[in-house]
Amino acid sequence: MVPLAAINGVELTIFVVLFLAVSGLGFVASRWRRAESLDHLDEWGLGGRNFGAWISWFLIGGDLYTAYTFVAVPALLFGTGALGFFAVPYTIIQFPMAFIVAPRLWSVAHRHGYVTPADFVRGRHGSATLALLIAITGIAATMPYIALQLVGIGAVMRTIGISGEWPLIIAFIILAAYTYQSGLRAPALIAFVKDTLIYLVVLVAIIYIPIKLGGFHAIFDAADKKFAKTPTPPNPDGVVLANPQILGYSSLAFGSALALFMYPHAVTGLLATRSRDTVRKNMAALPAYSFVLGLLALLGLMAIKAGVTPLTGANGKPDVNTVVPLLFDKMFPSWFAGIAFAAIGIGALVPAAIMSIAAANLFTRNIYKEYLRRDASPAEEARMSRLVSLVIKAGAVVVILVLDPQFSIDLQLIGGVVIVQTLPAIVIGLYTRALHAWGLVAGWACGMAAGLYMLYNTPNAVTGKTHFGGPQYQLAKLGFGDTKVTIYTGVVALALNLIVAIVVSLALRSRRDRFEDRTMPDDYVAEAGDPGVRDVEVAPEEPAVPAGRR
Amino acid sequence: MADHVSGEQRFTRDPAAPGGAATARGRRANERNTGLYWLFVIPLVATLLPSLYNKLSPELFGIPFFYWYQMAWVPLTVLLTVFVYRRTKGDA
């Protein structure tokens, strides 16, 4: 059915060859740093909890900077200019913050064998209900994110000239097969290839394309002219921010940075590291990726100068996500465009694999084992997780094929607002138990309800949508008078969440001891490798040894 | 090997170990100078106040100030974080 003449053969061949080579790597990965068996979540789901600094740098970097980011951030600059650049301050500041907090999470998870953020919440706050809410929030926020990786691959496919849906299905079947087979080792190994390709492409692009387009000055001039043509209010665009956008810009950067390490896949990457020191080293070195992201973002403005027109999407509207692939197609010789497309395509595989593993672990540990089969053995847990990872990916494919892709983009937007509601239970929980479990539940519920309501109540004049029009909420609607200033919805919802959690905790002060804290203060500063302690073998049918019980 | 046990069951204290019941798996990280973490306020303020850098000039290689200023904070933040990492790292 595909019109063959429209397909660029060179691009397609290089894309397919690289894609298949990497898939082979994914299958081989099960033998890399091989464990005795993969019949344990620590092995399948966390790669043996033994990745050193270099592997972790590639793995976490490959995990957080997804194909969707590489396609969507430039697309945002193409559409609105300066506002899209929030991704740079966002990814700069998240790491210093995580540098302080993440080692504590690593330590307590190491001592207690926690695999998911909800495991920690269960152990710390002693409430299965709260842990369930955290797990469901995590799964709900991750699912659309996986689906969006398909949007990234789809944008590349359409640029090459393939319009059907079967390539996406094949790509995800391959991905599902080697994730099932190799677990977290697959994306860890593939991340090396992915990042090498991405760095190569970005470095070439940032030098070669501006030279062909007549320099950066000409690029920004063209962007300025384009933005000047469109009437600004109510959604201003421009090469720099309009005044009402300033608060929105910084609150979006700040709120997104808070949200990032709450995502289950980010936690999976953290917990797969070998030591607390590895985590700290990585938080210091990871911002280097932000530089690449910043350069990539500028590609969106270059596309304006190059006169790129987005392809029409399946829903009949222009799909701005095709801007970067089209720019590569236009500027590069076919063979290099093929490499660039492969970089984006492979870039989708790493995070999609980690996200599906993280979501599967949440289901297995915090729903299946907690509510359905309390006595599940580790081998059963691993088996369950592997199966669920397949279900999750199948679900993502169905969502993309059946529903408008815009739906996934909306969901991902919601995802950021939703996942940041788990921050009080996780981050504050890492420092103090001052917040009562029911206080955290109440705060979560209020933050969630307020966040969803505000998103629903956000129209977008540019796209003509009446609901879920964007992550910015007008201060005027919050009762701040007649102003055009907007603020990131997630930050407002989180503030409400915290206030409710504190108030309810104060009201329940006297009832604090009803929930058991299984962790000890010492757990939060533990480092790997104490020679005086061994892994103790416990038969599965024995009752749990209360390791950290007071 | 305890690969077939999971979660809480996998880590238990070894009464025979030095320190006995007081030790758990892992040793205490002996990070120091944690007051240096306050230095992280610098990149936060520098990047989260767009009023500081929301302008076109001075340009660098034709790139407006808004863009290259924020990009410049990537290496600066890496250097700062590496500095803090080294100064707070305890003896092994």
A509: nearest Cα among A453, A438, A445 = A438
For residue A103, cis peptide bond before it (omega within 30 degrees of 0): no
A4 or A24: which leads in pLDDT: A24
Residue A120 is classified by DSSP as H
Residue A494: pLDDT over 90: yes
| Residue B7 pLDDT level (bands cut at 50, 70, 90) | very low
A85 or A321: which leads in pLDDT: A85
Residues of B in contact with A284 (CB under 8 A): 78, 81-82, 84-85
Out of A115-129, A250-264, A301-315, pick the least confident: A301-315
Phi first, then psi: give them for residue A238, nearest 5 degrees.
Answer: 160, 170
Strand, coil or helix: A525:
helix
Instruction: Write out the E strands in A484-543.
Output: 486-488, 526-527
What digits encode the pLDDT tens for the residues B25-78?
Answer: 557 777 777 778 888 889 888 888 888 888 888 888 888 888 999 999 999 999
Percent over 70 (pLDDT), chain A: 89
Phi first, then psi: give them for residue A69, nearest 5 degrees.
Answer: -60, -45
Q: Judge residue A401's burial from the number of C-beta atoms within 10 Å of its C-beta, 0-12 exposed, 13-18 middle, 19 or more buried.
A: middle
Q: Which helix (H) or strand (E) holds B27?
A: strand B27-28
What digits encode the pLDDT tens for the residues A243-260?
Answer: 778 888 889 889 888 988
Residues of A in contact with B54 (CB under 8 A): 82, 240-241, 246
The mean predicted confidence, pLDDT, of chain B is: 73
Reduce the secondary structure of A194-231 to three states and give it as a string: HHHHHHHHHHHHHHHHHHHHCHHHHHHHHHHHHHHHCC
Closest Cβ opposite residue A110 in set B14, B23, B26 = B26
Longest dimension (CA), chain B: 68
Out of A33-37, A107-111, A483-487, pick the least confident: A33-37
End-to-end CA distance of chain B: 26
Q: What is the pLDDT of residue B25?
A: 53
What digits encode the pLDDT tens for the residues A54-86?
Answer: 888 888 888 888 877 778 888 888 888 888 888
Determine the Cα–Cα distance for residues A24 and A512; give it in Å rounded to an integer: 53
Q: What is the pLDDT of residue A309?
A: 81
Instruction: Write out the E strands in A427-491.
Output: 472-474, 486-488
Q: Rounding to the nearest 10 degrees, give the CA dihedral for residues B64, B69, B75, B76.
A: 160
| Residue A315 pLDDT level (bands cut at 50, 70, 90) | low
Helices (H), A29-127: 41-44, 53-64, 67-80, 87-112, 117-125
| Residue A532 pLDDT level (bands cut at 50, 70, 90) | very low
Dihedral sign for Cα A155, A416, B81, A275, please: negative
Out of A210-224, A292-306, A392-406, pick the least confident: A392-406
Please enumerate in sequence order all residues whose Cβ is within 8 A of that of B12, keeping only pairs 6 or more positions apart, or say none.
Answer: A536, A538, A545, A547
Q: What is the pLDDT of residue A538?
A: 39
Mutate to test the interface with B, among A245, A536, A541, A550 (most CBs of B within 10 A): A536
Q: What is the pLDDT of residue A202?
A: 87
A460 and A442 in contact (C-beta within 8 Å)? no
The answer to whether B91 faces chain A, any CB pair under 8 Å, is no
Q: What is the pLDDT of residue A2?
A: 42
Beta carbon pairs, A and B, within 8 Å: 226
Please enumerate in sequence order all residues whose Cβ is within 8 A of that of A396, keeping only pairs 6 or more positions apart, or say none.
Answer: A143, A146, A147, A149, A150, A172, A352, A356
For the segment A329-357, the average pLDDT, to the nearest whole number, is 87
Please enumerate in sequence order all residues whose Cβ is within 8 A of that of A283, keeping only pairs 6 or more positions apart, or say none.
Answer: A95, A96, A98, A99, A102, B81
Strand, coil or helix: A460:
strand
B22 and A526 in contact (C-beta within 8 Å)? no
ipTM: 0.82
Closest Cβ opposite residue B7 in set A89, A97, A112 = A112
Q: What is the pLDDT of residue A548?
A: 40
Determine the Cα–Cα distance for residues A236 and A77; give it in Å rounded to an integer: 12
Determine the Cα–Cα distance for residues A386 and A389; give it in Å rounded to an integer: 5
Determine the Cα–Cα distance for residues A267 and A76; give it in Å rounded to an integer: 27
Cα B36 from chain centroid? Answer: 11
A98 and A279 in contact (C-beta within 8 Å)? no
Dihedral sign for Cα A314, A317, A320, A324, please: positive
Q: What is the pLDDT of residue A132?
A: 92
Closest Cβ opposite residue A536 in set B12, B54, B81 = B12
A239 or A499: which leads in pLDDT: A499
Chain B residues 9-38 with a CB less than 8 Å from chain A: 9-14, 17-19, 23-29, 31, 37
Angle (deg, nearest 10), helices A323-331 and A288-305: 70
Angle at B83 between CA B82 and CA B87, to 5 degrees: 115
| Residue A394 pLDDT level (bands cut at 50, 70, 90) | confident
* C-alpha gyration radius of chain B: 23
Strand, coil or helix: A520:
coil
Mutate to test the interface with A, among B9, B63, B91 (most CBs of A within 10 A): B9
Instruction: Write out the E strands in A386-510.
Output: 472-474, 486-488
Longest dimension (CA), chain A: 74
Mutate to test the interface with B, among A90, A373, A538, A549 (most CBs of B within 10 A): A538
**Which residue type is seen at A221?**
D
Question: How many other CB atoms are there within 10 angstroms of residue B54's CB atom?
Answer: 19
Residue-wise DSSP of A152-193: HHHHHHHHHT--SSHHHHHHHHHHHHHHHHHTTHHHHHHHHH
pTM summary value: 0.84
